[in-house]
Amino acid sequence: MSDLNHCDQPVRVAVLYGGRSSEREVSLSTGVAIGDALRERGHLVTMIDPRDPARPTRHINLLEALEEVKVDLVFNALHGTYGEDGCLQGALEWSGVPYTGSGVKASAVAMDKDMSRRLFTSAGVPVARAVTWRSGDALPAEGQLPEAPWALKPLAEGSSVGIQKITSYTELTAQLADAQGSWLIETWLEGVEVSVMVLDGEAWGGVEIVPSSGWYDYEAKYVRGDTQYFCPPRLPQQRLDEVYSLAERAYEALDCSGVARVDFICGVDTLIALELNTSPGMTATSLVPKVAQSRGVAFGALCERLMRSALARAKELSDGRPE
């Protein structure tokens, strides 16, 4: 691989997008936006959708596909299962192909809401009270649960896929009776929702999210188009500084790389981290590009910055390996 650490020459980059997770449509939009931006800046872009077109429930042999196109870098625009949970990262590490975003450990831990919450707590990043439930377990007794209402969340999904607001114990047990997989039952806290962009350990800023429905679910994020965004958030500077500091601490606690997004709820007397996303969306309505734009960094320049980060990380790892 040539020395492309400063992107001063065209990079041969494969944009991975689509896939077969529940976040496929978001990933397709993200990938197209990134691919177009990099082409406009003179890079040599190959778009690869790992989902096998002949068998949509299967993946193509991704490493063979990458070997055929001889890329310098993989730009990971995949979301959800197989894309940001450590599976892809492990395969790319094995093959020696540099890639954007966090490594195997951070990706896997960030996708597991239970494990990431544990690491947040140990690092002094506050989280809401919660319990974990897995299909096959006995239904939790009401006295074992944190205070209602609850957010019922799949333990390993993003883009608000599958999240429900539950207001009563009867409703909760009815939902769990037929549920499969692992779920987080978390106290639902009201407040201002703020998403913070962290790049290479530095909080670049945040976005305040005001959905028309009062809840920033999948429909509010990607379908209705009536959510309001305020960048920077309309919070006192002291409160913002606190949020940004906690975002950097969460990023460090999970040992992230590249860009990540940390989501918070800021109440009158509370401040809690909801989750950390190691592969945040990069669509027209996505939050990370909004923050970058507020700092005067256009979308294409942001994509190049993420490539530089990935190439620098790959060089550090290569220099540290024994001959």
- Which residues have a catalytic role annotated? 23, 159, 222, 261, 263, 275, 277, 281
C-alpha 29/C-alpha 15 separation (Å) is: 12
What is the DSSP-derived secondary structure letter of residue 125?
-
- Edge-to-edge strands, sheet with 130-134: 130-134, 182-187, 150-154, 164-166
Strands 12-16 and 73-76: parallel
Q: Which residues pair with 153 in a beta bridge?
A: 184
Q: How far apart are CA 102 and CA 13, in angstroms?
A: 17
DSSP 142: G
Contacts of 12 (CB under 8 A, 6+ apart): 43, 44, 46, 69, 70, 71, 72, 73
Q: Provide CB contacts within 8 A for 130, sequence distance 6+.
A: 117, 146, 184, 185, 186, 187
Alpha-carbon dihedral 142, 181, 118, 279, rounded to 10 degrees: -130
Q: Tell which phi-psi region holds residue 269, choosing left (phi > 0), alpha (psi between -120 and 50) or beta.
A: alpha
